[in-house]
Structure 1
Amino acid sequence: MKTAMPLLLALFIFQVSAQKAPVQKQRTLWNDFTYDMGSMFGGIGHAYSRPFHWKGDDWARFGYTAAGTALLFTIDDELDDWANGIRGDVPQFVKDYGNRFGNPDNNYMLTGGIYAVGLFTKNEKLRRTGVLLMASATAGGFLQQVTKRIIGRARPRSGDPSSTYDLFHLDRVFNYDSFFSGHTMLAFTNAYAIAKQFKNPWVKAGIYTVGMVPGFVRVVDRFHWVSDVAFSAVLSIFIVESIDKYLDKKYSEKYNDQSKDVSWHLSFGPRKMGVVISF
């Protein structure tokens, strides 16, 4: 009896330890894919829900964005007249790149390709980049489609001034769907998200510049007003940052240790006023 008790106790401890041992889930492409798609839609929902969690600084940033956009609204027609002087000087290949790169079909070919490479090479950082790109583009693209049908702002090429609106249309009304710029949104979203891979400020600046070419071209070709493009670029930054913070909780691989905070302040000077964004 004395011998049996230690044996029974040892057997009981072994069974309890075995039950508590974690079961390792086999990692497969399908598991990674389903996890990433869940993270993508979770990131989209996170971005849309952020206004319900805004505090003082967040509302201040929203106010700066609204004020800056409203300021540009007042001079959009003058800026369109100014662009008349350079339209003939912009090379055709730049225009072709600007109009094609921000196209949704081309955008998802790029972002989907980046994600696919990360998935098949089992590179978590590249997978995360692809998820960030696709989630940000989807969140911004859906918002843009809804907004332009509600606001119905005239495009420059319509011949109407920038203050002309044809409100609330479920169907798209061509030349009255200017605000805000989808091409700029998609292109700068990609540029901003990809630039996160690098710490060098000159590399970042170069990527941002390439990402703003579609916005510049859309103004030159009279598809959009300057305020449409500026608002799209700023909104892209907020969407990418919001989703990237969400993905911090979903992936162990980080791009770098840089802060994800975006700061704003108004800048005044002789005969000028502007909004400075630090990121």
Structure 2
Amino acid sequence: MRILLSTIFIFSFLIGIAQTDTIKQPKNLWQEFTYDIGNMFGGMGYSYSRPFHWKGKQWGHFGMITAGTAGLYFVDDEFEHWVNGFSGDAPDWLITYGTEYGSPENNYMLTGAVYLTGLFTKNEKLRRTGVLLISSASAAGLLQQVSKRIIGRARPRSGDSSDVFDPFHLDRVLNYDSFPSGHAMLAFTNAYVIAKQFKSPWVKAGLYAVGSIPGFVRIMDDYHWISDVAFGMAISVFIVEAIDRYLDKKYDQKYNDNSKKLSWDLNIGPGQVGVIMRF
């Protein structure tokens, strides 16, 4: 009888521990905020560490990105001359949008508003979206700032051609900080994150198109070459996907899970370099 009672007591005790572990205690606003801030920094670190864990497929994708950028590098000057032929005809609102939307100040106003809305309304999916937006933009922004100083590529407005470099400066050198395009990275990062909320491939494609505008406006304004913009946008996708995978382990709310995945491929041939989206 004593053995039976002891067994029942121990079993009841273990059930109580299991229930305590499985039932999540609601967090207050401050706890959620600090949790999200930790995930922002954690996501940034995770995205930077991914190349050390890449395997053949991932390195193959990065190789295609590198090859595509190299292909565009050889047509940078020609593309710049072609754009200059019609850049003066672009509407002012388009130029203003492309310049302002991709700036860090406006980017963080948008991403911060999304996050705070999710935080105060206790909407975990919106909170997670805000965390993904802020951490992706921060990871992309830091990466491009370091890259600019290391590479030191001449901007079109410097008067030099696309193959002129003044590398390895701790401080950015005016008009020699072209590669990659920060505006393109920030704007396309936002567009790519927001597109994850939708299942429709046409909505996704529309958001990608809108997110591409700042990069091409920077080309028209002689701030960047086409290869600066293309590489920046491609790296944005890598960063967002890495951080999103990290956040999958931190939040219960997931994004739309489509059986048809969107894939990106580079089409490289004689005299042409293109990006193909399959969905």
TM-score, normalised relative to structure 2: 0.91
Tell me the equivalent position of 1:97: 97
- The one-character-per-residue Cα deviations of 1:87-113 (angstroms, maximum 9, x if unpaired) are 110111111111110110110010000
Equivalent-residue separation in structure 1 for 2:68 and 2:86 (angstroms) = 24
Map 1:64-103 onto structure 2 (within 5 A): 64-103=64-103
Could you tell me how far 1:263 is from its partner in structure 2? 4.0
Larger Rg: 1
> SS in structure 1 opposite 2:171?
coil
Q: Which runs of 5+ in 1 are unaligned?
A: none
Structure 1 55/114 Cα, relative in aligned 2: closer, same or farther at 3 Å? Answer: same
> SS in structure 2 opposite 1:163?
coil
Map 1:26-175 onto structure 2 (within 5 A): 26-175=26-175
- The one-character-per-residue Cα deviations of 1:213-252 (angstroms, maximum 9, x if unpaired) are 1011100000000100011111111111111111111111
Equivalent-residue separation in structure 2 for 1:86 and 1:205 (angstroms) = 25
Does the 8 Å contact 1:61/1:264 carry over to 2?
no
Q: Does 1:213 align with 2:224?
A: no
Tell me the equivalent position of 2:20: 22
Q: Does 1:257 align with 2:254?
A: no
Equivalent-residue separation in structure 2 for 1:153 and 1:211 (angstroms) = 24
> SS in structure 2 opposite 1:276?
strand
Structure 1 131/144 Cα, relative in aligned 2: closer, same or farther at 3 Å? Answer: same
Could you tell me how far 1:162 is from its partner in structure 2? 0.4
Could you tell me how far 1:258 is from its partner in structure 2? 2.2
Equivalent-residue separation in structure 2 for 1:248 and 1:7 (angstroms) = 43
Could you tell me how far 1:133 is from its partner in structure 2? 0.3
Q: Which runs of 5+ in 2 are unaligned?
A: none
Equivalent-residue separation in structure 2 for 1:101 and 1:261 (angstroms) = 28
> SS in structure 2 opposite 1:161?
coil
- The one-character-per-residue Cα deviations of 1:123-180 (angstroms, maximum 9, x if unpaired) are 0110010000001001110000000000000000000000000010000111000000
Structure 1 50/16 Cα, relative in aligned 2: closer, same or farther at 3 Å? Answer: closer
Does the 8 Å contact 1:149/1:177 carry over to 2?
yes
Equivalent residue letter for 2:121: T
Does the 8 Å contact 2:71/2:273 carry over to 1?
no
Count of aligned residue pairs for this structure pair = 277
Equivalent-residue separation in structure 1 for 2:82 and 2:235 (angstroms) = 25
Identity percentage of aligned residues: 60
Equivalent-residue separation in structure 2 for 1:10 and 1:274 (angstroms) = 69
> SS in structure 2 opposite 1:22?
helix
Q: Which moved more, 1:263-272 or 1:136-145?
A: 263-272
Structure 1 6/250 Cα, relative in aligned 2: closer, same or farther at 3 Å? Answer: closer
Equivalent residue letter for 2:148: K
Does the 8 Å contact 1:64/1:275 carry over to 2?
no
Equivalent-residue separation in structure 2 for 1:244 and 1:9 (angstroms) = 45
Structure 1 11/231 Cα, relative in aligned 2: closer, same or farther at 3 Å? Answer: closer
Structure 1 39/49 Cα, relative in aligned 2: closer, same or farther at 3 Å? Answer: same
Runs of 4+ more than 2 Å apart: 4-21, 23-26, 258-279
